[in-house]
Amino acid sequence: MVVRVLMLIHRKSGLTPQQFQKHYEEIHMPLTKEVAGETFPISHIRRYIPRSVSPQDSSTEKKQYSAVVAWGNPADVEIDCVTELIFRDKKHLQSYFEMPHAPGAAARLEAEAENFAEKYTTIIVEECRETLGMSKL
């Protein structure tokens, strides 16, 4: 049974949403693939939260780029990316999580992540129900 991991990632202070995305895609992802090798997930989907083009309050240290929301308060959306990793099974997931503990790997990934991510929460989702084909959008 596949295992999904969700990562809720917050952009580093001082980066625009565009800089955050560019760094994640062009620097962090190639390094992650290199270090992970065979343990890389079968799927690695990154969903970036749409944000305003310019900061709403440029006087703050962390410039606020408002989230573009369908309803609700844009200020409640603190994350900048939802990343979904899909693994074949628990053994595949375990081998991926052990990979950063190889000599030097963890230090390389963690040091590099500090260049674009303020913090991230990682959630393992073992059971997942999808509702597909329910509506005609």
Structural domain range at position 64: 3-125
- Tell whether pTM > 0.85: no
**Torsion angle, CA of 113/68/64/20, rounded to 10 degrees?**
20
List per-residue pLDDT tens for the chain, 137 residues long: 899 999 999 999 989 999 999 999 999 999 999 888 899 999 999 999 999 877 765 555 456 788 998 899 988 899 999 999 999 999 999 999 887 666 777 778 888 889 999 988 999 998 777 777 666 55
Q: Tell me, yes or no, whether 57 lies in a domain.
A: yes
Q: Tell me, yes or no, whether 130 lies in a domain.
A: no
Residue with tokens 């565009």: 18
In whole angstroms, give the CA distance from residue 24 to residue 68.
20
Can you point out the beta strands (E) in the chain? 3-11, 43-48, 81-87, 117-125
Q: Tell me, yes or no, whether 25 lies in a domain.
A: yes
How high is the pLDDT of residue 64? 78
Whichever domain contains 120, its CATH number is 3.30.70.100
How high is the pLDDT of residue 53? 76
Please count the structural domains in the chain: 1
